[in-house]
Amino acid sequence: MGYQYDDQNIFAKILRGEIPNNTVMETEHCLAFHDIAPQAPTHVLVIPKGPYVTFDHFAQEASDAEIVDYVRTVGKICADLGLEADGWRLISNAGADAVQEVPHLHVHILAGRGLGRMLE
Ligand code: 5GP
């Protein structure tokens, strides 16, 4: 299946500096910022700078350097925020069934409250 990247999506606009964001961390290949409508005391979104729609799109087409930077950035944010003490959750929604709102890959980092069981 091929992915069509829409460069008018809101995270593309954030990456181009057309919309402001509250940056948590920026690296060569990624940007992390606070979610505009946080679902937990910590709600950070981590996005690659490249034009990838979903996790599988990224995993198939990104370079090793982009993938390593992305994974390490997520881990570094969790460490820097001290999330290992009480725990945290990663979510990445893809496509219609998961109700992906923004068609640019993002991982949600959620923490700071009891998050309940996700899979029953
Ligand atoms: P999705 O449903 O695609 O997994 O999540 C998209 C997330 O992006 C939502 O949690 C939503 O609150 C967040 N979001 C949407 N527009 C903006 C924006 O302009 N700025 C920021 N920081 N977050 C946004």
Does residue 120 register a pLDDT over 80?
no
Side-chain-facing half-sphere of 70: CA atoms under 13 Å: 20
Pocket test for ligand 1, best of 35, 54, 108 (most atoms within 8 A of CB): 35
Active-site residue 106, yes or no?
yes
Interface confidence (ipTM) of the complex: 0.99
Which residue puts its alpha carbon closest to atom 24 of ligand 1?
36
| Catalytic pick among 29, 57, 104, 106 | 106
pLDDT tens profile 20-74? 999 999 999 999 999 999 999 999 999 999 999 999 999 999 999 999 999 999 9
Residue 1 reports pLDDT greater than 80: no
Q: Is 77 helix (H, G, I), strand (E, B) or coil?
A: helix
Position 118 confidence tier, pLDDT thresholds 50, 70, 90: confident
Using CA atoms in the order 105, 113, 99, 54, what is the torsion angle rounded to 10 degrees?
A: 20
Q: What is the pTM of this model?
A: 0.97
Q: How many CB atoms lie within 10 A of CB 46?
A: 24
